[in-house]
Structure 1
Amino acid sequence: MDEKTKNLHLTSEEISGESSEENSTVQRRGSVASRGTQSAQVDAELAAVRTARASIDEVTLPLENAGVEEDRTTVSRTITQLDDYILPRLATLDAPLTVVVGGSTGAGKSTLVNTLLGEPITRSGAIRPTTRQPVLIHRPEDAEALTPQRILPHLERIEAKNSTELVGADHSERDQIFTVATESIPAGIALIDAPDIDSVSEDNRRLAKQLLSAADLWLFVTTANRYADAVPWEVLHEAAKRDITVAVVLNRVPEGAEDEIEEDLRRMLTGAGITPAHLLTVTEQERDERGMLPAVALTPLVFWLRELGSNADERSRIARQTLEGAVRSVADRMETITAAQTAQFETAQRLQNIVLTSYTQAQKNIIASTQDGALLRGEVLSRWQDFVGTGEFFRSLETGIGRMRDRVAGFFKGQPSQAVEVEQALEVGLHSVIVEQAAQAAETSQRQWLEERAGRVLIGNRDVARVSEDFPARVAEGIRAWQNDVMEMIRAEGAGKRQRARFMSLGVNAAAVILMVVVFSMTGGLTGIEVGIAGGSGVVGTKLLEAVFGEDAVRRMAQGARENLEIRVHELLDEHSEVLTERLDSISLGPEPALLQRSTEEMRATARGLKEAK
């Protein structure tokens, strides 16, 4: 090669080198930008999941609707899975892969774990269930990544004192998990030896499901005799729904039957939509003096776990796949929770409407009784006729309003006692109607509440239809307060009148009683004041007051007095209904269903994002 060609070749290499360096720089910048985008996406996903978690945490489902216990369990399970797995894993996608070893009672899970590690760490026993407390086994350098703040925060941690201490078979009233740090476990992997999924202990079964929900990968252990049992397949179907990576160990298979049983198990797994990441068949073998199988029996599984632990990309893929399935399953549960929350709001509204409708009808009935002349009959009418007279007074009406004005004061002079008697008779009649209608409204509300389970629980053993001992006294106090308001209205109206002398001669009490009679003779319309009811009582009262105050003033006072009465009746009935409404007011229904629905949609969007990133 001549010098010119050589120089040209060198120049090409230099150019090539510069180009490579530029490409590397661009790639590094792209990598940083990509990590920044991924970080922003993870932050957004975390924010959405935390919002959903906060919303679900406020759901208490206090009303006893049909199926509410199952719904409350769904709420509890959802919060637990969010805390145990989804939030920690989403925050630390590069944490060690959590492999939960689960299976039926006596399947040999603890023996399998000890053999995998090459040392007895978790204890199995002859008493069933064997593994009673789960054991978390990890490398010492991974301890920080597996703290309660990052995984399984609801379980009390108990650290093994030394590597020779066998743990996991003691009984405890609390949810606990032992932690063991050992160099024997492959890097990038954390193993959890879980209680039996079909344990005789309900707490063990619950804890086993909780741990399986916190797994990145399920290492499912079964036996030749138990692989077709129903309970394990419930768990496996759940794994298929959540798209969880599953490895299977078929243990204690008789020599010579390996191919036949393994083929049948694979057929069942395929039917369930599961393609196992690894399937190992272990024949029936003697255990050594430490209770462990020959190491060679599990060599394929050991190599698979080591290879998985050393492959960060594969671990990340499995973690994201499981995480996406978990988020999707939570979104599905949130639909159920939203439906349950909607039912709570609808039940509360229905119970509220029962009370509102009953007491609204009671108020209508009370007001109607003050408009149709019912309160101006009997004792009230008798006292009124004694008050106004029946002969000379009515003849005076016939001679004209002008002449009556001159005789009003003289006619009523010396009759304050009759005015008081009319007032008292009105009070008794109105009091009886209010108490009766309140009791009827309470009885109607109670009867309809008792037709619903939620209403029955809210009422409990109390007879809410029974009128409280102090309610009649409060009604009497309310009526007297209304009567005092009427008197104040009369005083205010008469204070500036030119007919003040006639008004003072008539007297405040007499004028107030007449106005009350006028109110009870109104037929509900603003012009109904002219209508006479109960033997002309309304006409009499109206003409008397008009003679002193004028037509417009009487119309205005009567309407004001009626509105005042309706307000006080409403207040009394509201107070009486509190025996029911306070039960609804005392419970917190939690977030609006629409808020939960928005969080559900955000969770589904998070699941889609995780799926696209796999």
Structure 2
Amino acid sequence: MTRPSAAPNASGEGASDRFGTGPGAASAQPAAPGPESVHLAGVPDERRGPTVPVPAGPAKHRAPANEDDRFEQVLESLRKQIRDLEFAPGIAGAEEGEVLQSDVLAQLSDYVLPRVRRPDIPLLIAVAGSTGAGKSTLVNSLVGEQVTTTGVRRPTTNSPVLACNPADVDWFSEASFIPSLPRVRQQGLAMPGKDGMLVLAATEAMPPGVALLDTPDVDSAVAAHHEFAAKFLDAADLWVFVTTSGRYADARVWEFLQVARDRDTSLAVVLSRVPRKGRRQLLDHFGAMLEANGLGNAARFAIPETDQIEGERFTSNVADHIRDYLADVAGEAEQRDRVSRRTFIGVIDSFRSRVPELARQVEAQIETGRALGADIDDAYAGAAARIDTALGDGTLLRGSLLARWQEVAASGELAKSLRLRGKRARKGRAEQAERGQRVSALERAVRDALEALVVSANERASDQIEQRWRDVPGGADLAEKALDQPGSGLLAKQVRQEISEWQREIAEMTAANGATKRSVARFVTFDHEIVALVMIIDLLGYERSHSGGGTHAADTSGPSPQRLLKGLFGAQSLRSIGGSARENLRKRVLGLLTHERAPFDHALSTAGIPSEDSAVQLYQATYNLEIAR
């Protein structure tokens, strides 16, 4: 449900009457109290006001008992699973999931588990409702003395008041009742506390075993009060919901009433400030709305407009019917059990839908995480495929690389690199320098071409991921997080380093024993670095480019790289060296791409998306609860 709002409020009510109970209301109404009752101790008769009749003696409320430890263990396990859930902010399912998580966790911790563990918890009656409905005046009148103050401004301070017998006040301490909520204890009149603080008013006017809570307004203008009001309602056994003749049709009112319906909470509704004129039409319309919303069994009361208020409580019998109803509810331990058991079972029943709904929000996050992960896989698989194709189809043999190869091939450097064993090469310094420049230029061209290929493929993959992620709620923030990680811009340097190492490995393979044909190796030696460059040109698809298989046909002036290499190594050895070199290059490129995708993988893995088995565990917990209950 959407979380509600805050504060004690002013009233101005008059004589109370029941305005119809609906066809099923009889079951919701407790039996009439016995003849035996007690007066409220410590309060003079002239100040006491209406008293709440209860049986003599400290009859304690008994919550639904369950002696099976298994039930508590299942509930504890469910609470732990829900408590440990994390949602990735901004991603689909986060907002809804966090609200559901908070709702279910609060009811497990503040309502269900305490009632499973202890059979003598006081019955908590929460008086809730609209701004200006007169909740505080009603609470004071039901208690029989002023324990709370009515508001003079809207919204009022967000400090609810809980009235209980001194014998029960310890139960409502931080150790037992909503531990996260700060509170202050006051005797007698409970003055407003600080915003967000519960005021405990211990008074002998309240019978043992029953507590009355004046909650914040459910439709407060302060959004923070909504959560506060709902927290108390989630922990209550019985809701007394008060709204006015002018606000009973408000959407916020029905949001709360529908929550009570969905959870089968024990409920009484009070329509206050009912004018004499048109009274019957108002009551009939409100009753019809209750029936239409599945709340026909709720006990119903009406309070007419009145100025009979003194000391912030009614001076006449305005609240008599409501007081009698609550006396019936709270008067007998058996009746209290009946009321609280209905609410307790209703809450447990609601977990059948609320926990699976939470699981569905978890699944929404998991599915989004899978989709974002698939975007990374698809983008970098595409990058690897484009690189792999370009490495063998002659695409790179153009531009500067093609020009540098043609210079080396046309200069006769390839033939000059071969010489008879024992014969010293005779070259002038100028010729050697020129030769070195051409070979170095070819080496740089090879590195530049491969660097451009890998960098452009990575940039395309990165842009593809960013574009797809930005189309997913919450994905834009993850993309920015990934792109902001340090280390960007180093890919080009890493590519050059990998290519240099790759070239050295090829040279080492050509120099290995048994690589060269025996007939050649017996008489000829060669420059392994130059031959490694020739092999690279061949691996990059020279023959395919020459035959028209590439996107750019290379100028094939000079000797064919493959013919030269076959002459040196033989077909079988050449295939072995070429295959190893090609596979080595693929591994290096894939390693570079894996490193470049890491920021996206890290951003996704640290986003807080629930684990794959989280939803399954929640469904299993729902099943376990059904078995154990």
Partner of 2:223: 202
Residue 345 to residue 138, structure 1, CA distance change in 2 (3 Å)? same
Partner of 2:73: 47
Aligned counterparts, 1:108-507, within 5 A: 108-130=134-156, 132-160=158-186, 162-163=187-188, 165-168=189-192, 172=195, 175-253=196-274, 262=283, 265-276=286-297, 278-287=299-308, 289-294=310-315, 296-387=317-408, 417=436, 419-460=439-480, 468-493=488-513, 505-507=525-527
Cα distance, 1:436–1:503 mapped onto 2, change above 3 Å? farther
Name the CA distance, whole Å, in 2 between partners of 1:94 and 1:144. 13
Q: Deviations over 1:152-187 (max 9, x none)?
A: 233212222x22x4323x552xx3211122222122
Shift of the alpha carbon at 1:136?
A: 1.8
2:40 is aligned to none
Over 3 Å counting, the alpha-carbon distance change for 1:84 and 1:514 in structure 2 is: same
Per-residue deviation, residues 536-589 of structure 1 (Å, max 9, x unmatched): 799844454444544433222211111110111112222233343332233121
CA contact (8 A) 1:124 1:131 kept: no
Structure 1 residues 432 and 276: CA distance shift in structure 2, 3 A:
closer
- 1:413 positional shift: 8.5
The alpha-carbon distance between structure 1 residues 131 and 488, as it changes in their structure 2 partners (threshold 3 A), is: same
Q: Which amino acid is 1:567 matched to?
A: K
Distance in 1, matches of 2:212 and 2:372, equals 51
Q: Partners in 2 of 1:65 and 1:190 — Cα distance?
A: 42
Letter in 1 for 2:128: G
Which residue in 2 is equivalent to 1:92?
Answer: 118
How far 1:60 moved relative to its partner? 3.4
CA drift at 1:218: 0.4
Q: 1:134 to 1:410 in 2, by over 3 A?
A: farther
The residue type equivalent to 2:337 in the other structure is: S
Superposition map of 1:54-65 within 5 A? 54-62=80-88, 64-65=90-91
1:512 corresponding residue in structure 2: 532
SS of match in other structure, 1:327: helix
The structure-2 alpha-carbon separation of the partners of 1:446 and 1:393, relative to structure 1 and needing over 3 Å to count, comes to closer
Distance 2:465 2:422 in 1: 50
CA gap of 1:609–1:258, structure 2 versus 1, over 3 A, is farther
Describe the SS at the equivalent of 1:166: coil
Structure 1 position 296, deviation (Å): 4.2
Change in Cα spacing, 1:360 to 1:254, as seen in structure 2 (3 Å) is closer
Indicate the residue corresponding to 2:22 in structure 1.
none
Instruction: Tell me, yes or no, if the aligned pair for 1:371 and 1:523 is still in contact at 8 Å.
Output: no
- Aligned pairs for 1:523-538 within 5 A: 534=554
Q: What do you get for the CA RMSD once the two structures are aligned?
A: 4.0
The 8 Å contact of residues 421 and 524 in structure 2, kept in 1 or not, is answered as: no
Give the match's secondary structure for 1:167. Answer: coil
In proportion to residue count, which structure has more helix? 1
- Alpha-carbon separation, structure 1, partners of 2:425 and 2:297: 104
Change (3 A) 1:363 1:257: closer
Query: In the aligned structure 2, how far is the partner of 1:409 from the partner of 1:361?
Result: 51
Question: In 2 relative to 1, CA 473–142 (structure 1 residues): closer, same or farther, beyond 3 Å?
Answer: same
Distance verdict in 2 for CA 1:504–1:287, change over 3 Å: farther
CA contact (8 A) 1:413 1:506 kept: no
For 2:325 and 2:181, how far apart are their aligned partners in 1?
29
How far residue 150 of structure 1 moved from its aligned partner, in angstroms, is 3.1
* 1:426 Cα offset (Å): 1.7
Which of 120, 127, 131 in structure 2 is aligned with 1:105?
A: 131
Change (3 A) 1:591 1:373: closer
Tell me how far 1:194 sits from its aligned partner: 0.3
Give unpaired runs (5+ residues) of structure 1: 1-34, 397-403, 525-532
* Paired residue secondary structure (2:105): helix
Mapped to 1, the partners of 2:526 and 2:622 lie a distance apart of 78
Structure of higher RCO (CA pairs closer than 8 Å, 6+ residues apart):
2
For normalisation by structure 1, the TM-score amounts to: 0.77
> Aligned in 2, Cα 1:120/1:546: closer, same or farther, shift over 3 Å?
same
The alignment partner of 1:505 has SS state of strand
Alpha-carbon distance in structure 1 between the residues aligned to 2:364 and 2:523? 62
What amino acid sits opposite 1:359 in the alignment? Y
Q: Work out whether residues 85 and 215 of structure 1, in 8 Å CA contact, stay in contact via their aligned partners in 2.
A: yes
Once residues 151 and 234 of structure 2 are traced to their aligned partners in structure 1, the CA distance between those partners, rounded to angstroms, is 26
Question: How far apart are residue 122 of structure 1 and its match?
Answer: 0.8
Distance, in Å, in 2 between the alignment partners of 1:413 and 1:48 is 90
> Relative to 1, partners in 2 of residues 1:493 and 1:290: Cα closer, same or farther, differing over 3 Å?
farther
Deviations 1:462-496 (A, max 9, x none): 97899943332222112112222323333444699
**Cα separation, partners in 2 of 1:434 and 1:606, compared to 1, 3 Å:** closer
Give the Cα separation in 2 of the matches to 1:461 and 1:352: 15
Cα gap change, 1:410 to 1:427, in 2 (>3 Å): farther
1:69 aligns with 2:95: yes
Work out whether residues 409 and 557 of structure 2, in 8 Å CA contact, stay in contact via their aligned partners in 1. no
Change (3 A) 1:453 1:299: closer
Pairing 1:502-581 to 2, within 5 Å after superposition: 505-521=525-541, 534=554, 540-581=560-601
In the aligned structure 2, how far is the partner of 1:393 from the partner of 1:485?
Answer: 20
- Which has the higher mean CA deviation after the structures are superposed, 271-280 or 319-328? 271-280
**1:82 pairs with one of 100, 108, 124:** 108
Contact 1:519 1:558 in 2 (8 A): yes
Distance 1:98 1:293 in 2: 23
Match of 1:26 in 2: none
TM-score (norm 2): 0.76
Residues 280 and 373 of structure 1: is their aligned pair in 2 closer, same or farther, counting only changes over 3 Å? closer
SS at the partner of 1:79?
A: helix
After TM superposition, the structure 1 stretch with the greater mean CA deviation from structure 2, 251-260 or 134-143, is 251-260
TM-superposed CA distance for 1:105, in Å, is 1.7
- How far has the Cα of 1:193 moved from its partner? 0.6
> Contact 1:83 / 1:153 at 8 angstroms: preserved in 2?
no
User: 1:378, 1:323 → 2: CA distance?
Assistant: 79
Deviations 1:264-307 (A, max 9, x none): 54444333322556444444444454222237443444444344
Distance 1:506 1:131, change over 3 A: closer
Q: Which amino acid aligns with 1:447?
A: Q
Q: Aligned-pair distance for 1:521?
A: 3.3
Structure 1 residues 86 and 534: CA distance shift in structure 2, 3 A: same
Q: Aligned partners of 1:242 and 1:93: how far apart in 2?
A: 21
Residue 121 of structure 1 deviates from its aligned partner by 0.8
